Structures are given as structure tokens and as C-alpha cells.
Structure 1
Amino acid sequence: MSDPAPSSPAQTDAAPPGGVSPEELIRIRRRTLWVLSSGQVLGGVAFGATVSLGAVLAAEISGDEAFSGLATAFITLGAAALAVPLAHLAHRRGRRISLTSGMLLALMGVVGVILAAATVSFPLLLLSFALIGAGQAANLQTRFAAADLATDASRGRDLSIVVWATTLGAVLGPNLVGPGEILGATLGMPALTGPYVFTIVAQLAAITLYATALRPDPLLLAQRIANAVAGGAAAIARADRPTAARYAIIAIAGAHGVMVAVMAMTPVHLLHHGATLTVIGLTISLHIAGMFALSPVFGIMADRLGRVPTILVGQALLTASLILAAVGQDSASAVTVALILLGLGWSASTVSGAVLLTESSSEDLRTRRQGRSDLIMNLVAATGAVLAGVVLGRIGYGGLALCALAVVAVVTALSFLGRRPLLARS
């Protein structure tokens, strides 16, 4: 894979900024992408195995199926609550410390889940799921870490490669539930906690990988280079596009909220229309494939066509998905295609939105805004999932899809904000 010609302060023919030559920077960037992608696979395995049994454990330990949704809710809220602290930690200490800390907290959460199952403690279970959310926050942060050393011409591609790696973990994780139960029974673990053995192993491997292999730290190196090229923090702060950054946050949150709201209600809708669990499982699997499998395509599109145009492609895909879901709500095949389009629209919008957010933020504000974006997208997802259930009960699946179109319309209408030019430099 050939690298583009230098197109940012990170690559220059002058004396090596920050003490790193262009050739060495390319080598470091490639190594960083491999480390982050491998960590994302491990994180995906850990998270996939965890989420697969979360709702079942919540219902089993609480004794009430009505509380089954709290598992995902607390993971999402935990990810939201820890997104900003982990982003601040990254700004001060680098990605290596931040990602390692997030995975350590998630590991504590997994151990807590096993203890909660052994002691039948529902409060401990919910607290543990909230800690597991730290792993999700760390997984989200890796996509921004992939862009730390990227050039303007490769930022979308680099970020999307790491997002794509999530596909492997997301597919493998849930498939470890069966073998995990057998292993757990052999080890004498509480019922339904056997798969967490794989989660613990995957998280330990991710922690070790980030702690030992993510050197030099991509964010700290990027900050050092930017300071050397720009001549200090005051000059860097002027290379900022706050309006475009806000639009990026809106686009990411909007796409994520629409995706979660519709996706969360699809199994319920299909079940009520007589679909088998096999059909439901296939639909969700294809949706997940749509979310991650083609992310490199959208990353390259963002680099070549532009960030905002690719976001608009995502909004067009979301629109097609929602209209198809509304019109074909009585057909399992139509809903499946709608879910695939939903995943593709999410991918185009969030990949390009993350790139736009990164390059629209000065070095001193970048990690703060990235953490804020992850916080907002998780809060929007949690709110969307709750409201989606209410809307589904009132006006049905088709009505839910049409309501979600309003969010797409807002993101599309505000797209001109993402094109605002840089603030004047002196």
C-alpha cells in the first residue's frame, strides 16, 4: 500500500519536526494502525461475548424480564460517562495510557459480573456493566487514535481501517457463547458466565498489546510534531474550525441515534410478525456487516470526495433505509435490506464525521471534542433506544422509521456548517 505525498505538517522536507523523519513517520503510522486494529479485534471479541449474555443475566439475577434491557443501558451509560475522562487522560498522558486504562476498567467490570452472578447481586451487576462501558469507550477512541498521525490525504482511510477491524471481533465474540458455557461448566463458574473467560483473555491481551506495542504514543508524537511545525500552541489554536467540528458531532450523533433506535426495535417488530429467531439473527448479522465491513470504502470516499459529501451519502443511505422500512415493514426481506442500508448509512456518516471532527479541531482542543462527541453519541443512543420503544408501541415500526427521518433531515439541512473555512490565521 503506497502512501500519499506529504500533505500536512506531519510530513515535510525540512529538518525533521519533533525529531522524526518522514520515512520514520510512515513506518510508525503503519505500525500504529496494526496495533490499533489488533486491539480493536480483541476489544470486539470481549465486547461481543459480554453483550450477548448481558440481557439474559440481567433478567436471571433480577428475577424480572422487564429489567433485561438495563444491561445494555448501563453499558451505554458507562461508555458515555467515561468517554470524556478517557479523552482528557489521552490529552495529558497519551493514547497508550488512556486505552490501557479503559480496558483495565472493563476487565474489572467483567470480574464484577461474574461475582454478581455468584452472589446474585443485581446492583453489583449493573455497576459492573457500567464499568464494562469503559471498554466500549476505549474501542471508540481507537478510531481517533488512528487519525493522530495521518495526513489529510489518508486520514479517512486510516481511521476506517481500524473501524473495519471491529467486524472480526463483533462476529467472533457472540459465537464464543456456546464453547464458553462448556468451558465455564468445566471450571465450576456460575451459570451463564462461562463465555466471560474468553472476554477476560481478550481484554488481558488488548491491555498487554496497548501497554507494550503502542510506542511511540501516536497522540503525543502528533502533538510534538504539530508544536514544532506550527511554532507553539498559540499558532495551533488558530488552525481551528469550531463550526465544522460541531456539525461533525451532530452528524455522528444523529446517525448513531437513528441506527440504534431502529435496530433495537427490529427484533421485536420481526418477532411480532412471525419471524423465526434464525431470521432475526441473520438480519442483525447482516446489519452489523453493513456497519463495519465497507468502512474502508467510505474512508477512501471521504479522502477523495470530501468529508461532508460522504456524510451526505450516509444520509441518503439512511433515508433509503427508513423509507424501505416504513413501506416494507410487513416483509422480513424488506426489513433485512433496510437494516443493511441502515448499517451502511451509519458507517458513511460516522467514519466521515470522525475525520471531519479530527481535522476541524486544533491540537489543544482535539481530544476534548472527541471525548465530547463519544459522550453525546452514547447519550443520544440511550435516549433513542428508550424513545423507540414508546414510538413503536404507539405508531408501529413504520411510524418509527418515518419519525427517524426527521433527524436525517436536520443533519442534511445543516451540512453547510461543515464546509465553513478555517479561522483567519495571522
Structure 2
Amino acid sequence: MMLQKDSGKVLDAQSARVQSYINSSEKQKSLYKRTLFIVSISQILGGAGLAAGVTVGALLAQQMLGTEAYAGLPSALLTFGSAGAALLVGRLSQAYGRRTGLTAGFMLGGLGAIGVIFAAILNSVFLLFPSLLIYGAGSATNLQARYAGTDLASKKQRATAISITMVFTTFGAVAGPNLVNVMGDFALSIGVPSLAGPFILGAAAYILAGTVLFIMLRPDPLVIARTIQAINQESSNKGLLPTTEHTENKRGIIVGATIMVLTQMVMVAIMTMTPVHMMHHGHDLGAVGLVIGFHIGAMYLPSLVTGALIDKLGRTVMAIASGITLLLAGLLAAFAPGDSMVLMVIALSLLGLGWNIGLISGTALIVDSTKTSTRAKTQGSVDVLVALSGAAGGAVSGMIVASSSYLTLSIAGGILSLLLIPVVIWSRGVRK
């Protein structure tokens, strides 16, 4: 009986706390800012975890398998794992709130990184592949976290809110590839293969990110947003307030998803084979880490500017800019001399920038087009498609390079990005 009374008191206290946010617009604004801050901390850590696998995953598989034909497989496994995790995180967030979903996703990513470390120690491909799948959960969660910042944002703030959380990923994402040699040396000092070193960083980063969210993301922004929307809808039904809940815009969801799918596929395909391409032209692991560091920095650092532009100029205009930027990146990567560090940095930076614009544009369209009551579930489902498109790009990239060349891969990726333009033309019926 005492336990039931204590549980009842806890639930009453939690209900009162949630109610205090619902009744105060000032507290809602404060929670919005606090959520952005907490998610930004997790993004710094998650960015470091994300960068580890991107930088050395292909090289680790190439070393184990003895061929580059399947060097794109780790990227494919990471993104397949990301797809499953995106669905899981979306469903958990819908049922229990962002805190539960994001915490679970980051913890799974950390577990996968630990599995990769043991696979490298044992030289076991059979352990490496499932571990990479699980490790992909960290990548999915790192992307899903961008939605948390929009839960309490107005429509004119959404792209900016997404960009604020994403820009903090830069700090970890740029540091990660540039710690490749340091972590490799550390791994060797404890008897672990050097290529597994970055995954030690990845495990620590993902687990810390999950811990931060679990402890600090209270009250849950999605729970507050849903409750506010439900109260407003009830008041609207009674004629006390004008209707604020819009119906789901399926066309907007399709367009937003297509923009993200195409940009992800092009970006992953070219990025995956760039380390292998550079190693063929005499670059060492440090040079590869530098180029990937610039690339990942360009994926996230411009977010504050691109997010504001997307809110000001509209989602569709900036989606076209994404396609053009990706085309330029593909052409430059294709025709730049393989031994030119400067041109490779520029090409991969443009690739990251194009992805950034496309991802924020598409994400903002998804948020604009969904209802609060079903938003997290829809966001998770869309991110599954995004992850699968990345998996396809990663899997095919190695085969294209092995059967043809890096030049062919880069040109094909640039041309594919142009499909964004007819998609945007079709989307003119979607409100900006």
C-alpha cells in the first residue's frame, strides 16, 4: 500500500510539473531553449561517434577481406542498422517521448562500437558485420535528435532549430577523424589493432551522449508539445479557440522524404569510396582523416546559415540549391587529380554542404507536413528510407569503383542529384 501511495505521489508531481509548462508560455520558451542546449551537448558527443566509423570502416573491412570490392559494405551495414534503429527510435519516441527513444538509440550505438573493437581483436568478419549493424543505431539517433529541437518551435523557427542542434555536431564530427592517428596509437598501446582505435572513441561518445539525454532531457519536449496540441484541439472543438491542428500533408511528406533520400544516397556513395581513392594515390591515414574531417564539418557547420535561409527563402528554393551543390561536388571529385589534397577537400566540403541543405530542407518539410500526435512515428519511418538510401549508395559505391572507377561513381552521383529539381517543381503545390 505504501508503495502504491508513493508511486501515486510521484505521478502527481510529474503531472503537476508538466501542467506548469502547459500553463506558461514563458516556461515553454525556456524549455525550448533548454532542449536545444541539451540536444546540442549530445550532438557534440554523437558527432564524434559518427565520424569514427565513417573514417575507418571501409579500411577495416578492406584489411579483413583482402579486397576493395566490398569496401563499401561497412557503410551499407551502418546504414542498414541505422534504418532499423530509426524505426525503433521513432516508435519509442512516439510512445514514451524523445528522452527514451534517443537514449536507447545512443546506447545501442555504443554497444555496436564495442562489438567492432572485439571483431578487430579477433579478426572476425562474422562479428564485425553484426556489430556494424548495431553501431548504425548511433548514426540514426544522431540524426533523429534534430527533431527534438522542433517540438516546441514555431513554423518560422523550425529550420533554424534543426540547424542549431546540427551545428554542434561539427565539434565532435571534425575532431573524430582528426583523432584517427591518436586513437590508433592508443589502441596499439593496449594491444588492439590500430584501425579499431576510432571505435573506442565511438563507444565512449555514444554512451556518454545517451547518458546526457537520459539525465537532462526532462521534461520531455515531445510530451509537452503533444499535450499542448491536445488541449488546443479540444478547445477548438468546443469553439473556444480557432483550430490550430492541421491535417497531415502527404504530398509534403513525400517531397521532404525524397529530398533527404536523394541527398543521402549521393553523399554516402561518394564519401564512402573517397578514403580508398585517396589511399590509392599515396595519401596516408592522417590525410584521409583531414579530408573526411572537412567533409563532416561542411555537413554540419554551415547549419546556422542554411537553416535561417531555409526559414526565410523557403524549403523548395533551398532544395534546388542542394541539388546544384551536389552536382558541383561530384564533378570536382571526378576530375580533380587524385594527389591534390586541396581539390579533394573542396570537393568533399561541397558534398557535405549539399547534404546539409537537403537534409534541413527535407526535415523542415516533414515537420511542416505532420501532426504532433503522429509526428515522431512518421519521422522515424522517413528516416528509415533515408538510411536505406544511404545503404544502397554505400553498397553500390565499392562495386562501381571496382568495376569502373571513382570518376564514374562521382559523375553518376552528381547527375543523380539533379533529380531534386523535378521533385521540387512537382512540389509547388506544397506550402513553403
Deviates more, 1:246-255 or 1:278-287: 278-287
Partner of 1:293: 301
Matched with 1:7 is: none
Instruction: Give the structure 2 partner of residue 355 of structure 1.
Output: 364
CA distance in 2, matches of 1:84, 1:72: 19
Give unpaired runs (5+ residues) of structure 1: 1-15
Shift of 1:322: 3.1
Q: Answer whether contact 1:329 1:398 (CA < 8 A) is retained.
A: no
Which of 408, 416, 421 aligns to 1:412? It is 421
**Which of the numbers 44, 48, 54 marks the counterpart of 1:45?**
48
The aligned amino acid for 2:88 is P
Deviation string 1:312-352 (CA, Å, 9 cap, x unpaired) is 22122223333444555678344443322222111111111
One of 335, 349, 374 as aligned partner of 1:365: 374
- Which of the residues 255, 270, 274 maps onto 1:262? 270
On the 8 A contact 1:163/1:295 being kept in 2, the answer is: yes
Partner of 2:161: 158
Q: What RMSD, in angstroms, separates the aligned Cα atoms of the two structures?
A: 3.0
Cα separation, 2, equivalents of 1:414 and 1:192: 41
Q: How does 1:68-217 map to 2 (within 5 A)?
A: 68-184=71-187, 187=190, 193-217=196-220
Distance 1:290 1:122, change over 3 A: same
TM-score, length-scaled by structure 1: 0.85
One-letter amino acid of the counterpart of residue 348, structure 2: L
Tell me how far apart the structure 1 counterparts of residues 281 and 409 of structure 2 sit (CA, whole Å).
16
1:66 shift after superposition: 5.5
Quickly say closer, same or farther: Cα 1:368–1:402, change in 2 above 3 A: same
Corresponding position of 1:241: 249
Give the superposition deviation at 1:49: 3.3
Contact 1:244 1:419 in 2 (8 A): no
Q: Residues 59 and 276 of structure 2 are in contact (CA less than 8 Å); yes or no, is this contact kept in structure 1?
A: no
1:388 aligns with one of 380, 388, 397: 397
In the other structure, the counterpart of 1:319 is 327
- For structure 2, the residue ranges without an aligned partner over 5 or more in a row are 1-18, 238-242
Q: Structure 2 length normalisation: TM-score?
A: 0.84
- Inter-CA distance 241–232: structure 2 relative to 1 (3 Å threshold): farther
Partners of 2:50 and 2:195 lie apart in 1 by 15
Change (3 A) 1:265 1:46: closer
Q: Hey, what does 1:6 align to over in structure 2?
A: none
Q: What is the distance in 2 between the residues matched to 1:339 and 1:225? A: 43
Could you tell me which amino acid in structure 2 is paired with residue 403 of structure 1? Answer: A
CA distance in 1 between partners of 2:359 and 2:266 (Å)? 12
Say whether residues 1:346 and 2:337 are aligned partners: no
Give the share of equivalent positions with the same residue, in percent.
34
Rate the CA distance shift 1:408–1:174 in 2: closer, same or farther, 3 A.
Answer: closer
Q: Distance in 1 between matches of 2:430 and 2:57?
A: 45
Go from structure 1 to structure 2 and tell me whether the alpha carbon gap of 1:316 and 1:92 turns closer, same or farther (over 3 Å shift): same
Superposed displacement of residue 260, structure 1:
1.6
Match of 2:3 in 1: none
Amino acid in the other structure paired with 1:286: F
**Contact 1:18-1:225 at 8 Å conserved across structures:** no
Q: 8 Å contact 1:237–1:362 — kept in the other structure?
A: yes
1:357 Cα deviation after fit: 0.9
C-alpha separation in 2, matches of 1:56 and 1:406: 27
C-alpha contact (below 8 Å) 1:37/1:165 kept by paired residues: yes
Opposite residue 367 of structure 1, the aligned amino acid is A
Distance 1:319 1:190, change over 3 A: closer
Deviation larger for 406-415 or 315-324:
315-324
What is the CA-CA distance between 1:368 and the residue it aligns to?
A: 2.5
Given the superposition, is the C-alpha separation of residues 291 and 395 from structure 1 closer, same or farther in structure 2, using an over 3 Å criterion? same
CA contact (8 A) 2:183 2:198 kept: yes
**CA 144–371 in structure 1, closer or farther in 2 if over 3 Å, else same:** same
Q: Cα offset for 1:18?
A: 6.8
Q: Indicate if the aligned counterparts of 1:307 and 1:353 stay in contact, CA closer than 8 A.
A: yes
Shift in CA distance, 318/190, structure 1 to aligned 2, threshold 3 Å: closer
